[in-house]
Amino acid sequence: MSSHSARRRFLATSLASAALAAAPALRAQGAPTRVRFQLDWRFDGQAAPFILGRAKGYFAQEGLDVHFDSGTGSAAAVARLAGGNYEMGYGDTSTLIEYMANNPNTRLQAVYMVLDSTPAGAMVLKKSNVTRPGELAGKTLGAPVFDAGRKLWPLFARAQGLDPGVVKWQSMEPPLREPMLLRGQVDGVTGFMPSSMLSALAAGAKEDDLRVFLYKDHGVRVYGNAILATSRFIEQNPRAVAGFLRAFNRALMDTISNPEEAIRFVKEREPLVDAALELRRLRAFLDNFVITATTRADGVGAISKLRLDHQVDDVARAFGLKTPPSSDVIFNSSFLPPRGERSFPAAVLASR
């Protein structure tokens, strides 16, 4: 690390700590702090920790009045948060790096890493005879413009030795993605695969009909979604940021310990969802991207600076970024709950 980067990191941490210490405590009887929070997607299984935390009053107990809005993709969440309409949100780390590089005045930071690796991937029908990622060359892929899998395609393509421009893109609204694949209107789709695959099953596909290429299994070693906060909110309401992370961390541990209970809260929030499908979606996210070898050892929420440095380098190469942000600016660990609170209960780990 350069001395300049070290100073920036030290100053950022020191200022955050000082602000946290100096800020007046949230009063239990006072007006709660309002937090507008942009989710990455719909109110479904993967959003269960946020829904559970609100339903159980964990955010309210921290003096927060949190309003969650559904989203249209984790990449879109980054742009909306940067636009100033939200104080906090949930978005893709690689997209945050790209956005900050292209918009140097962006004042956003990741404050809690939820997904230890990206769930992004590509999906095709087996009858297409695409058996490996390199065979996607020349195909038409479908995804919403702000889909994180589409945004991360250059990393995936380059890891396969492909030029990112080797495919054509068909844009569509999120609900049309999997039906268009099943109707043969596109050769493949990108998305968050536990979610996209299950949506294909809900649209009438059989699991044996589908072939999935998870980016993480094909050379893309990057973090996934994180909780984000604007720098302005961090500076003005440091205790609210810390309180939000305590509440979310508590809700995440509850969700991991009892996913069935978490899905009951999702069903209460969205009565039309298929509870069995959403439970499967939630378990897929937890078991593949939240509970990993790394988080088993080190706890959830934190990052490895070296690994994030490599991610910045990879994203910069893939997108041709001239001035990528430093990892010290991207991730702020000042507000994380203690490591002991971010460690999974032994009983949970033994059952997985």
3-state DSSP assignment of residue 301: strand
Which domain CATH number covers 131? 3.40.190.10
Same domain for 241 and 342, yes or no, is yes
Kindly report, residue by residue over 64-90, the tens digit of the pLDDT. Answer: 999 999 998 888 899 999 999 999 999
Mean pLDDT, rounded, of the chain: 91
- Higher-confidence residue of 12 and 98: namely 98
Q: Does the pLDDT value for residue 103 go beyond 50?
A: yes
84 and 231 both lie in a single domain = yes
The number of domains in the chain is: 2
| Pairwise CA distance, residues 254 & 327, whole Å | 30
Q: According to the model, what pLDDT value does residue 72 have?
A: 87
Instruction: Name every residue whose Cβ is closer than 8 Å to that of residue 350 and which is 6 or more positions away in sequence.
Output: none
Considering the domain architecture, whether residues 166 and 230 belong to the same structural domain is answered as no
Residues 39, 59, single domain; the answer is yes
Does the pLDDT value for residue 154 go beyond 60? yes
Query: 207 or 347: whose pLDDT is higher?
Result: 207
Ranking 23-32, 135-144, 238-247, 328-337 by mean pLDDT, the lowest is 23-32
Nearest of 335, 346, 330 to residue 78 by alpha carbon: 330
Query: Is 102 in the same domain as 229?
Result: yes
Residue 74 confidence (pLDDT): 83
> Which strands make up the sheet holding 33-38, listed edge to edge?
64-69, 33-38, 88-92, 225-230, 108-113
55 and 38 within one domain: yes
Phi, then psi, of 234 in degrees rounded to 5: -60, -45
Q: Which residue has the tokens 């994380």?
A: 336
Q: Tell whether 65 and 138 lie within a shared domain.
A: no
Instruction: Note whether 101 and 154 are same-domain residues.
Output: no
Q: Which range marks the domain in which residue 212 is found?
A: 120-217
Q: Which residue, 217, 237, 268, sits at the end of a domain?
A: 217
Which one has a higher pLDDT value, 172 or 19? 172
Mind listing the pLDDT tens digit for each residue in 189-242?
999 998 899 999 999 999 999 999 999 999 999 999 999 999 999 999 999 999
For the entire predicted model, the pTM comes to: 0.89
Same domain, 103 and 152: no
In the listed set 202, 217, 232, which residue is the last one of a domain according to the structure?
217
Question: Which residues in 213-248 are b (16+ Cβ under 10 Å) and which e?
Answer: bbbbeeebebbbbbbbbbeebbeebbbbbbbbbbbb
Which of 171, 198, 217 corresponds to the end of one domain?
217
CA-nearest of 73, 116, 50 to 297 is 116
Distance CA 282, CA 276 (A): 10
